[in-house]
Chain A
Amino acid sequence: MSAGRRTRGLRAACTGCRRRSWLLSCLSGPLECCARDRARLLELLALEDRALIDAVAGRRKAELHARYGSFTARELPRDPHVEAICRHCCGYPQALDDRATAPPLEVAGGAARLAKLTAAPVVAILGSRAPSDYGVQMARSLARGLAASGVTVAASLTDGVAVAAHAGAMDAGGASVAVMGGGLAVSCPARRRSLYERVKHAGCAVSKLPLDCAGRRWGQLASERILAALSRMAVVVEADDTPEDLAAARIAVALGRTVAAIPGRVTSPLSRGTHALLMDGATLVRGPRDVLELLYTVGTAEQCEPPPAPVGAPTDTGLQPHLRAILERVGSGCDTPDKLARAGVEPSAAVLALSELEVIGLLARGDGGRYMPRNAL
C-alpha cells in the first residue's frame, strides 16, 4: 500500500494493475463457471494474481504463470478515446480506493471527467431488468431530478431500470456514469448503442476489464461491486426479491453505503425486493427531493453545502385546481378515462384534462394506454 501511495500521481495505469485486468480477461471462462456461486466468485476476485491463477487456471496454470511473468501493457488492445487508470493514478475515484485490490479501470470519456463527476455526490440507481412502467417512470424522473440538481447518477447499462436512469439523466442535460460488465468495446448490446454513445459523450463509461473482453455474467456481478463502491448512496427503484435483482443493493449494504428504496404496491411481485429492503432498514424515498435530503443531511460533514432545489423536472406549482384534482386522481389509481368517469368526472372534461396534463408533461401514457404521473406527487 505504501508503495502505491508513493507512486500516486501517474497519468496512466501502471503495468502491475493492467496485468491484473489482463489476467481477469484470460480467466474469464473459468470465472464464468463460478458465477453461479456469488460468494465464491467475490472470494476469488479478492485473491492476489498468482493465487488466482493457482485457484482457477487449471491446465493453463503453467502457461499463464509464464505469460504473467513476461506481461507488457502492449498486449492489451488500445483505443484513443479510452484511458486506463488505476489506484496509483491521480484521477482514480477516491470512493474506490479503499483497499489494495481496488481494480484498474478503463474509462471512456476521460479520467479527468470521471474525477469531476465523482467529486459530486454519486447516487447509484438500481433495479430490475424487467420493471413495470411505474418502475421505468420512477427511475427516469428520479434520475432527471438528481442530475438537474448536480448529483451524479451511476448505473449499469442493463435493461430496465438502469437504462431508464441514464435516459432520465440525459433528459435533464446531465451526465451519468455507466458501469459496464465487460470490455467497453464489446459489452454494449446493439439496441443500447445510441444511449451508450450519449452517455459516453456527456459522462463516462467505466469497466475493469480490457476493451475486448466480453464480461458475461461474472463480469456483471463484479461490476456491481464497482457500482456500489463508487456511489455514496444506492436507490433501488423496483426489484423482485431475487439474488440477481438485489445483488448490488446487498453489496452496497455490506460496504456501508446508504441504501434507499422506492416503494411500490405491496401486491406487486415486481416490488417485493424493494419492500424487503425497506423491512431490513433501508430508507424510504419518494423522489429526488428525499434523496437530496438524505445526501445532504446524513452525509459526512465535509460536504454540507445546502442542496440546490431540484430543477429541470416540470413543477406543478400554479396548476389549475381542476387539473390538480385530475392529476391526484390519476396518481391514486383512476388512470383511464373510463375510471375517471366512474369516479364522477364528466367524461369529456376528463379527457380534455388528461390531454392538457400530458401536454404540460405531468402525465404520460404507459403500458396499454394507462395514464401515469411522470413525477412523484
Chain B
Amino acid sequence: MLARAHAFTIEDLHTRHVSVEVDVRAGLPAFTIVGLADTAVREARERIQAAILNSGYEFPSRRIIANLAPGDVRKAGPGLDLALACALLAASGQLPRERLERVALFGELALDGAVRPSRGALAVAHAARRAGMRALALAPACAREAMLIDGLDVPAVAHLRSAVRVLSGGPGDELGEHPALGARGQGAIDEHAADMREGDLDEVRGQHHAVKAIVIAAAGAHNVLLNGAPGTGKTMLAQRIASILPPLSREEAVEVTRIHSVTGARVSALAVSRPFRAPHHSITAAGLVGGASRGSIGEVVLAHNGVLFLDELSEFSRSTLEALRQPLEDGRVAIARARHSAVYPARFVLVAATNPCPCGYAGDGDRCSCSEAQMARQRRRLSGPLLDRIDLLANLHVETDDERAPALISSAQARAQVACARERQAARLAAEGVTVNARMDGRMLGRHARLDERGERMLRGARAAGLLSARGEHRVLRVARTIADLDASERVRACDLGAALALRTDPSVAGSRAA
C-alpha cells in the first residue's frame, strides 16, 4: 500500500518542499530510503523503527521503500523523521490517509516516540503556507516560532501518538508555559537586541563631528568609516548606531527572523531590532560571506537588514576585505563551490573603525612614530575598492577632559530625525525601486540631488582641484542628499555639500606623509 506525506528540507536559506512516499508490500523484510538523503536522513530508519514500536504501533515486517521526491534535491537533517513515520503508519493501515495530504509534518523523533524540535521552524512555516498547506504539525518548542506566519494552523505535537491524533482529526497538544519556553527559546538576536539597547548616544561626550556622521549614516544607510587614535571612542560610537536605526518593517523582520531561525537560534517573536554583527578581525573570507561548508552562513548574511561592524579594519586580511565587495555592491552574496552554489541576501550598513596609522597616533601632535613605509602599508590595506564603497569618513580626534563638550544628541532624538529623513527618502524614491539614499545610482542622483547655484560652483571647484573622482562625486552627492533630508530641505544646498565634502572618504585616511 502507498501513502504520501509532506515535509520540508532546509537548503541554505531556502526551504524545499519534499514529498515523502512510503510503499509497503510483501517481500523480504527491509526498510530502504531512496531520494538523495544524507546520513541524518538515512539514520532515520533506526529511529523510526524504535519510535513506532515504543509508541505502541506495529512496525510491518515487510518490504518498505520510502522515496523522498524530488530526487535531485539533497535532503539534510533529521526534520523528516515525523513525516516518514506517519507515512509509514498510513501505508500500513494504522492511520487514515486523507489528512496527510493537507498537513505538513516537521520534526525529529526520539526513540520513545517523542517529537524533538528542529531548527528552521519559521522558514518551514513560511514555505508550508506558500505550498498551500493548511496546517503544519511540529514540536511544541518551536510551534510558537511557526505561529509567527499568518494563515497557517500550527498544531503542536509532543509525541508520535499526538501526531496520529492530529492526523485523525483530533486537536494538537498544549503549547506549555510561555515563560519557560521564553527562557529556553530566546534566540541570539533577542539577546543581541537587549545588549545593544543599553548604549545611548547621549553617553558620547564631545566628538560632535563624528556623532553627526553616524546620524547621517543611519539616516541614509551609508557605509561609514571611523578613523581615529586609540581611545577616542570609535567602538563606542559604532555600537550606538544600532540604537538610532529605524525599526524593522514587517517584511524585513520576517527576513531577519528567518535567517536566524535557519542558523539554529530559536525565536519566539519576530525580530524587533536590527541585527548588529561585530566579527573579530581574524575572521576568514569564508566566515565573513559564508560558504565554508554546505549551508554555512556568513556574517554578512547574519547582518542582513542590520549593521556589520568591523573594528580595526586594517587588521582584517586583504582577501577578507575583498570578499566584501560583492555584498556591498549588490546587497547579496553568491557563493559557488564545487558541490553547491547559493545566493544569500546581504544588505547591511557597514560601520568600520580604524587607526590612522599602525601606532595609531598620526596627526596627534608628535606622538606618531611610524615610518613612511608603515604608513604606505596601512594606506594600501585601506585604499582601493573597499574605500570606494564607503560613503562617509568620520575622523575622531583626541580630546582632553575639559575640551570635551556635552553630548550632542540622545538616541531618541536621533532616532526621530532618522525616521523623518527615511520617510522623505522613501517618498521621493518610491518610483525608483529603492528606499534609501545610499542606493541611488548616478541617474537617480541627477534627478533627485540637484544642487543650488553656489553648490554647483563648489562641486565644479572640487572636481577641478582634484578632490573628487567621478565615483567620489556620486558618493558626496548621496551624502549631501541625506544631510539635506535630515534638515528637511528639498534642495541640496551648498552647506549640505560642504558638510558632505568634509566627510568624504579619500585615500589620505592613513596619513599624508607621501607627498
Contact = CB atoms under 8 A, between A and B. Distances in A.
B26 interface: no
A332 interface: no
Contact of A366 (B209, B363, B461, B495): B363
A159 B374 CA distance: 12
A367 B368 contact: yes
Contacts of B467: 358-359
A358 B511 contact: no
Contact of A368 (B229, B403, B494, B515): B229
User: Which of A133, A139, A160, A339: most chain B CB closer than 10 A?
Assistant: A133
A130 B371 contact: yes
Bin chain B's interface residue count: 35 or more
A136 B513 contact: yes
Given A133-B511, A160-B372, A168-B515, A369 B393 contact: yes
B498 A356 contact: yes
B395 A354 contact: no
B495 A348 contact: yes
B393 A269 contact: no
Interface in B337-376: 356-357, 362-366, 368, 370-373, 376
A36 to B, nearest CB: 21
B395 A336 contact: yes
Contacts of A168: 515
Interface string A333-368: 000111101100001110111111011110011111
B499 A351 contact: yes
A337 B405 contact: no
Contacts of A337: 208-209, 502
B487 to A, nearest CB: 9
B363 A359 contact: no
A366 B395 CA distance: 11
Nearest to A369: B395
B512 to A, nearest CB: 5
B366 A336 contact: no
Interface in A129-144: 129-133, 136, 139-140
B227 interface: yes
B497 interface: yes
A356 B458 contact: yes
B458 A342 contact: no
A191 interface: yes
A163 B234 CA distance: 33
Interface residues on A, range: 35 or more
Per DSSP, chain A at the interface is helix
B157 to A, nearest CB: 61
Interface string B378-400: 00000000000000010101010
A70 interface: no
Given A136-B512, A336-B395, A358 B501 contact: yes
Nearest to B464: A359
B33 to A, nearest CB: 63
Contacts of B508: 365-366
B207 interface: yes
A336 B506 contact: no
A164 B513 CA distance: 9
Contacts of B291: none
Nearest to A162: B515
- Nearest 10 A/B pairs, CB to CB: A368-B363, A369-B395, A367-B363, A164-B515, A352-B498, A355-B498, A355-B501, A367-B362, A359-B461, A167-B515
27 contacts: A130-B372, A130-B513, A132-B368, A136-B512, A136-B513, A140-B515, A160-B372, A160-B513, A267-B365, A338-B208, A354-B498, A355-B458, A355-B497, A358-B501, A359-B461, A359-B462, A360-B465, A364-B512, A365-B506, A366-B512, A367-B356, A367-B511, A368-B229, A368-B356, A368-B363, A369-B397, A370-B395
Interface of B: 206-209, 227-229, 356-357, 362-366, 368, 370-373, 376, 393, 395, 397, 399, 403, 405, 458, 461-462, 465, 467, 494-495, 497-499, 501-502, 506, 508-509, 511-515
Given A131-B513, A268-B365, A368-B511, 11 more contacts: A133-B512, A160-B372, A163-B515, A336-B395, A339-B403, A341-B208, A355-B458, A358-B462, A359-B458, A369-B227, A369-B395
